[in-house]
């Protein structure tokens, strides 16, 4: 009994050590550069695969492999990421930095799946299988090394941060970036360094974790959620508290595996522990601690008049009808998901675009909608069109309640964690999407009219999209729309105007999740199946990317986004050299967004109205003119001014 406890404790400490290494990397990068790296786990994942490649596939020796991966590739990679982000990090909105790192995450996952297609790859622990006995428990060398490494990282970071000028400068940047520049420190270099360091620590965690989890792209990528849960204990700032959080998380997981039944309701509970811990910590932290910088600073499109709005909807339906009646059925099957996904992307427009609230769990809401159809309208009954949005809205409100106190980054991570919780624990249950995660669904039948054929269903999708779009634009013109904008621009002002911020936020979430739920229901109908793998957290991420790419503030942007998302796999299927597009596409979009955070819809409308903003929107050049680096006046200024300045001028050659 006691031996078990001891054994589980050791496993917990080992796991906690890995989380601590990963989380401290996340904290160092976030505090110094101000950008939360959603791809942190993915970096660890790719480094673990690379380590497998050189160590086990090519047979390099362990030290050489470690040096190559951790001291050469990982820091270089971190530096590259920082460069890709540099234009955004400073002064950019949180969303634009977020989509870039999310794009990076997807890109890395796509890359890994491309280069290392899933198959059994073994990463052995260090000195595996050797170890030693600690009392009744056998401890492997790998476990012992893991704990030592974590301790080393803790001590190393402490020394770096408090004993070296570089470390002190990094802390100075955290305190006050602008002032650091005024005192001659180079904040840009500190960011670079923090990304290199963060990337190394992610890689280290990935390599330590690989023998435990084996090389699984998704599982290793999700390390970011665990790391985040640990880091939030230290409010994303404190490394020591982050270590505490990591240990608590490791132990909780280990005890859960040890003491909770491994079948039935608790089967997947271990996967939910980081999320649960995250929610508990977020709810326990005082609200003021959770402020982040303004979430959305994207431009709003001009408010369309009711006439334009109606005309736009009518045009969509006409065009869709024309397409539906002319093109081949197979083409239509390829094209139809664009409308369904577009509808789900549309759910982000009022929530993120207008109200400035970030959600990384829209596909989860869509999944809830699909679940409602499976339960209540699998026979194609129109009841599904009501139950799906209603149930999704209810879940949306449930999410919004704890999320009321959160904004910006914390909201993004809270919703991300919720998505993970749902797709790991709820959607995998047999009573949700069946034994194999796939349930059959009939297409809609209303009052004797059947939408069974893909042509009819295509038109139905267009009608629903148009109706929702017109409805949303009408809402935006009204009181509720103004409340949403006020929430985005100045939550404080909204409260002062006597509006209840909480009600508005809940309403925004309810509206958004209802639309997503409807989209999920229609997507299930289109596919004639509801599939759990369509509604995972990893499906929500590209959705956010394409919504932002299309232009998350505009209804038309959602449609464009849907087209892109549905178009990628089609292109990949038909054009052989674009085969990897489905995997890499979203990541590439993220990189494009680093340059064009406003989204395509606004760019197009600018071009249309002759404002041609392509050039105007590129970020201002931050490099300084070369001559200023050796400004003449750095010469000795001890004596009285005149001759010194003369000399200064001569240095300049004036």
Partner 1 sequence: MTAPALRLRGVCAAYDRIEVLRGVDLDVPAGSVVALLGPNGAGKSTTLAVVSGQMRPTSGSVEMAGCDVVGASPDALARAGVCMVPEGRGIFPNLTVTENIKLLSHFGVKTGHALDVAFEHFPRLKERRKVLAGRLSGGEQQMLALARALATDPALILLDELSMGLAPTIVEHLYEQVTALARTGVSILLVEQFASVVLDIADHVAVMSHGRVQAEGRPEDVAATLSTAYLGDAS
What gap in Å lies between CA 567 and CA 578, rounded to an integer? 12
Q: Nearest distance from residue 644's CB to partner 1, in Å?
A: 8
| Contacting residue, 148, 315, 383, 633, with partner 1 by CB under 8 A | 633
| Contacting residue, 4, 57, 573, 646, with partner 1 by CB under 8 A | 646
Stretch that binds partner 1, among 203-211, 372-380, 563-571, 633-641 (CB under 8 A): 633-641
Degrees, nearest 5: CA angle 281-287-292: 95
Q: Which is nearer to partner 1, 288 or 654 (CB)?
A: 654
Closest CA to 385 of 470, 311, 463: 463
Enumerate the β-bridge partners of residue 449: 446
Stretch that binds partner 1, among 6-14, 103-111, 507-515, 640-648 (CB under 8 A): 640-648
Radius of gyration of the chain (CA): 26
Q: Nearest distance from residue 153's CB to partner 1, in Å?
A: 22
Degrees, nearest 5: CA angle 183-185-188: 135
Stretch that binds partner 1, among 217-225, 456-464, 469-477, 643-651 (CB under 8 A): 643-651
CA dihedral of residues 81, 83, 85, 87 (deg, nearest 10)? 180
Helix (H) or strand (E) holding 133: strand 131-134
Q: Which is nearer to partner 1, 448 or 639 (CB)?
A: 639
Q: Which is nearer to partner 1, 57 or 622 (CB)?
A: 622
Degrees, nearest 5: CA angle 104-106-112: 100
Closest CA to 340 of 433, 468, 450: 468
Q: Which is nearer to partner 1, 431 or 636 (CB)?
A: 636
Q: Is 631 in the site for partner 1 (CB under 8 A)?
A: yes
The two tokens of residue 281 are 């910590």
Q: Nearest distance from residue 33's CB to partner 1, in Å?
A: 16
Q: Is 629 in the site for partner 1 (CB under 8 A)?
A: yes
Q: Nearest distance from residue 365's CB to partner 1, in Å?
A: 36
Q: Which is nearer to partner 1, 394 or 644 (CB)?
A: 644
316 in Cβ contact with 555 (< 8 Å): no
The residues in 168-207 that bind partner 1, with binding defined as CB under 8 A, are 168-169, 171-172, 174-176, 178-187
Stretch that binds partner 1, among 249-257, 324-332, 459-467, 629-637 (CB under 8 A): 629-637
Q: How many residues belong to the site for partner 1 (CB under 8 A)?
A: 44
What gap in Å lies between CA 35 and CA 90, rounded to an integer? 9
Q: Which is nearer to partner 1, 287 or 622 (CB)?
A: 622
For residue 591, the SS3 value is helix
What is the pattern of x (binds partner 1, CB under 8 A) and - over residues 155-174? ----------x--xx-xx-x
For residue 131, the SS3 value is strand
Closest CA to 554 of 517, 510, 598, 617: 598
Q: Is 288 in the site for partner 1 (CB under 8 A)?
A: no
What is the pattern of x (binds partner 1, CB under 8 A) and - over residues 609-628? -----------x-x-xx-xx
Closest CA to 252 of 236, 274, 268, 267: 274
Q: Which is nearer to partner 1, 576 or 630 (CB)?
A: 630
Q: Which is nearer to partner 1, 253 or 606 (CB)?
A: 606
Q: Which is nearer to partner 1, 379 or 622 (CB)?
A: 622
With b for 16 or more beta-carbon neighbours within 10 A and e for fewer, the 319-347 pattern comes to: ebeebbeeeeeeebebbbbbbbbbbbbbb
Q: Which is nearer to partner 1, 386 or 644 (CB)?
A: 644
What gap in Å lies between CA 597 and CA 549, rounded to an integer? 7
Binding site for partner 1 (CB under 8 A): 165, 168-169, 171-172, 174-176, 178-187, 620, 622, 624-625, 627-634, 636-642, 644-646, 648-649, 652, 654
């Amino acid at each position: 009994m006691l031996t078990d406890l001891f054994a589980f404790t050791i496993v917990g400490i080992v796991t906690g050590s890995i989380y601590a290494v990963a989380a401290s990397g996340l904290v160092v990068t976030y505090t110094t550069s101000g950008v939360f790296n959603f791809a942190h786990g993915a970096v660890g994942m790719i480094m673990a695969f690379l380590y497998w490649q050189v160590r086990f596939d090519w047979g390099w020796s362990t030290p050489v492999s470690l040096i190559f991966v951790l001291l050469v590739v990982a820091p270089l990679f971190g530096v590259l990421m920082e460069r890709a982000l540099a234009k955004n990090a400073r002064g950019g909105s949180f969303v634009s930095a977020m989509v870039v790192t999310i794009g990076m995450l997807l890109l890395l996952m796509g890359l890994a799946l491309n280069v290392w297609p899933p198959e059994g790859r073994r990463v052995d622990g260090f000195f595996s299988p050797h170890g030693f006995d600690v009392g009744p428990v056998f401890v492997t060398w790998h476990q012992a090394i893991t704990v030592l490494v974590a301790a080393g990282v803790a001590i190393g970071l402490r020394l770096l941060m408090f004993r070296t000028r570089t470390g002190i400068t990094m802390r100075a940047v955290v305190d006050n970036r602008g002032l650091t520049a005024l005192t001659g420190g180079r904040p840009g270099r500190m960011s670079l360094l923090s990304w290199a360091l963060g990337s190394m620590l992610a890689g280290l965690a990935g390599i330590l974790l690989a023998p435990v989890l084996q090389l699984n792209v998704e599982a290793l990528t999700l390390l970011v959620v665990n790391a985040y849960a640990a880091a939030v204990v230290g409010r994303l700032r404190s490394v020591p508290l982050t270590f505490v959080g990591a240990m608590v998380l490791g132990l909780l997981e280990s005890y859960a595996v040890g003491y909770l039944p491994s079948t039935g309701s608790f089967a997947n509970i271990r996967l939910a522990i980081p999320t649960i811990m995250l929610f508990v910590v977020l709810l326990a932290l005082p609200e003021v601690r959770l402020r982040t910088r303004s979430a959305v600073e994207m431009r709003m499109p001009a408010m369309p008049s009711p006439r334009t709005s109606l005309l736009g909807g009518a045009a969509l339906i006409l065009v869709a009808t024309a397409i539906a009646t002319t093109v081949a059925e197979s083409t239509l099957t390829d094209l139809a998901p664009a409308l369904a996904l577009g509808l789900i992307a549309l759910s982000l427009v009022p929530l993120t675009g207008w109200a400035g609230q970030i959600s990384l769990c829209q596909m989860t809401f869509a999944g809830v909608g699909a679940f409602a159809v499976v339960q209540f309208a699998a026979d194609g009954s129109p009841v599904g069109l009501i139950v799906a949005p209603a149930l999704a809205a209810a879940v949306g409100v449930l999410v919004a309640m704890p999320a009321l106190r959160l904004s910006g980054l914390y909201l993004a991570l809270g919703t991300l964690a919720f998505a993970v919780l749902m797709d790991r624990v709820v959607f995998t249950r047999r009573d949700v999407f069946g034994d194999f995660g796939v349930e059959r669904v009939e297409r809609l039948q209303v009052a004797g009219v059947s939408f069974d054929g893909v042509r009819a269903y295509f038109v139905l999708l267009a009608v629903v999209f148009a109706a929702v779009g017109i409805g949303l634009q009408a809402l935006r013109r009204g009181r509720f729309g103004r409340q949403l904008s006020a929430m985005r621009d100045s939550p404080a002002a909204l409260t002062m105007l006597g509006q209840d911020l909480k009600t508005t936020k809940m309403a925004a979430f309810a509206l958004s999740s209802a639309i997503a739920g409807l989209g999920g229901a229609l997507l299930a109908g289109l596919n004639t199946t509801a599939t759990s793998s369509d509604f995972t957290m990893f499906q929500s991420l590209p959705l956010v990317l394409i919504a932002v790419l299309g232009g998350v503030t505009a209804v038309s942007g959602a449609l464009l986004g849907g087209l892109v998302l549905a178009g990628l796999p089609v292109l990949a299927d038909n054009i052989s050299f674009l085969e990897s597009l489905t995997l890499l596409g979203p990541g590439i979009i993220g990189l494009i967004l680093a340059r064009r955070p406003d989204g395509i819809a606004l760019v197009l409308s600018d071009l249309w109205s002759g404002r041609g903003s392509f050039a105007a929107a590129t970020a201002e050049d931050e490099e300084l003119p070369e001559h200023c680096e050796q400004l003449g006046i750095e010469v000795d200024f001890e004596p009285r001014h005149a001759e010194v300045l003369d000399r200064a001028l001569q240095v300049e050659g004036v």
